[in-house]
């Protein structure tokens, strides 16, 4: 006699929160956002848009740079399927976007964004955000003493 197979346990937003929250808190502090920025997040059904079909979109961030506020939207399904390093990379990547968005908002303000240069500028930052996130993760791998329970040392 065998038991009926159980369906794999579905993640809830509470499960996702437990994975995402410590990483955001850690990296927001490490990247200097925690003092004067409000960075929140939410989980959404799907972030796939038009030309995103060829790659997995884990998150997308909206920033109100003037108000020092940002909201990171995480794709529920893609986050559930992400391995730990992908999730951490995603969070660092999104925080780097937030840092760039400050400059980006100044530029688009003066261009009035009629030229579409705003979108192009943001797209052009995908590569640098990825490279920086990878480098930061590589540095963390070198220092085995970094854990999520440690607060990063005060930056001078």
> By the criterion CB under 5 A, which residues form the site for Zn ion?
126
Q: Which is nearer to Zn ion, 15 or 126 (CB)?
A: 126
d(CA 124, CA 85): 23
Q: Which is nearer to Zn ion, 137 or 146 (CB)?
A: 137
Residues near 82 by Cβ (< 8 Å), separated by ≥ 6?
Answer: 58, 90
- Gyration radius (Cα) of the chain, Å: 18
How far apart are CB 44 and Zn ion at their closest, in Å? 15
Within 13 Å, how many C-alpha atoms sit on residue 105's CB side?
15
- Helix ranges (H only) for the chain are 13-30, 76-81, 84-111, 117-124, 126-142
How far apart are CB 75 and Zn ion at their closest, in Å? 13
Q: Which is nearer to Zn ion, 40 or 149 (CB)?
A: 40
How far apart are CB 93 and Zn ion at their closest, in Å? 5
How far apart are CB 97 and Zn ion at their closest, in Å? 5
Q: What separation in angstroms does the CA of 130 have from each of 41, 94, 105?
A: 20, 9, 20
Q: Which is nearer to Zn ion, 52 or 126 (CB)?
A: 126
């Amino acid at each position: 006699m065998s038991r009926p197979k159980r369906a794999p346990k579905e993640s809830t937003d509470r499960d996702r929160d437990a994975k995402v929250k410590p990483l955001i808190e850690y990296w927001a502090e490490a990247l200097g956002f925690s003092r004067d920025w409000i960075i929140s997040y939410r989980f959404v059904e799907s972030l796939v848009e038009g030309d995103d079909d060829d790659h997995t979109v884990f998150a997308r961030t909206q920033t109100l740079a003037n108000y020092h506020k940002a909201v990171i939207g995480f794709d529920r399904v893609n986050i559930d399927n992400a391995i730990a390093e992908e999730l951490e990379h995603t969070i660092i990547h999104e925080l780097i976007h937030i840092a760039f968005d400050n400059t980006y908002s100044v530029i688009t303000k003066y261009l009035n964004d009629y030229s579409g240069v705003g979108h192009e500028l943001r797209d052009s930052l995908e590569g640098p955000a990825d490279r920086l996130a990878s480098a930061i993760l590589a540095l963390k791998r070198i220092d085995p003493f970094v854990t999520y329970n440690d607060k990063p040392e005060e930056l001078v």
